[in-house]
Structure 1
Amino acid sequence: MPADPPRSAHDWLDQDAGPVVRPYAMTQGRVAPEGGEFDLVAFVVAIAGEDAEDAGLQPEHHAIVAASWEPVSVVELASALDLSIGVVRVLLGDLRSAGLISLYEPPAASQPHDVDVLKAVVNGLRAL
């Protein structure tokens, strides 16, 4: 009878990927950011100094603050940190509530689209 293969000390540790943490564990099950939604092309800028150390934040929060000392879009931030957009949005909501970041949305994202322009585009596409 063959012996059982040796098991690692931690079953949750994947040798190739490192520790595996589910996205909902990082956000404590939350799926929407505090303070409302924001656009994916909104720029994130860190405004915190030493306050980030005392806030009792998760490592992902600290990584976001460290990566956003210069303006960076939400999408670029998610890509740079290798986190999903949903997780980054929730974590950004936490940081915004704590006053550690500022979000700047482009004017086009916050204003409704001009219906006349959209109709002209549709008519132009139909004419093709």
Structure 2
Amino acid sequence: MIMRKIIYIFIFGFIGGILRGYFTFIAGNNHFIATIIINILGSFLLALMTGILPKIMKLSEALISGISMGLIGGFTTFSTFSFDSITLLINHEIGLGVLYILVSLLGGLIFASLGNSLGNLIISRGESK
């Protein structure tokens, strides 16, 4: 069971990292914007998928861990967010740094809430049929 979970996390983490790399590559010099979008999208998808997948499909705990920790964890970029935040602040771009932090954190929370709400809506509609 534990080995299967590790394998799923590794495989899905690889896929998530490739997706993050692709989006960062196409963003070019706009990596701050790419990081914000990736993290906000990841927050939304994590809340949606972990809330809805176990209820609509029979998935093992190992597979759900692979999707949540591996795919979404590999896709999102907390380390890049942290590094970029510190870099902006150290380079005396205080306003941009604070804006970057606020948009990332508040956006992540708002979109996680939206993902959770959408998941609950989908589940409740499925139960009423």
- TM > 0.5 fold call: no
TM-score of the superposed pair, with normalisation by structure 2: 0.25
Q: Higher helix fraction: Structure 1 or Structure 2?
A: 2
Q: In terms of Rg, which structure is larger?
A: 1
TM-score of the superposed pair, with normalisation by structure 1: 0.25
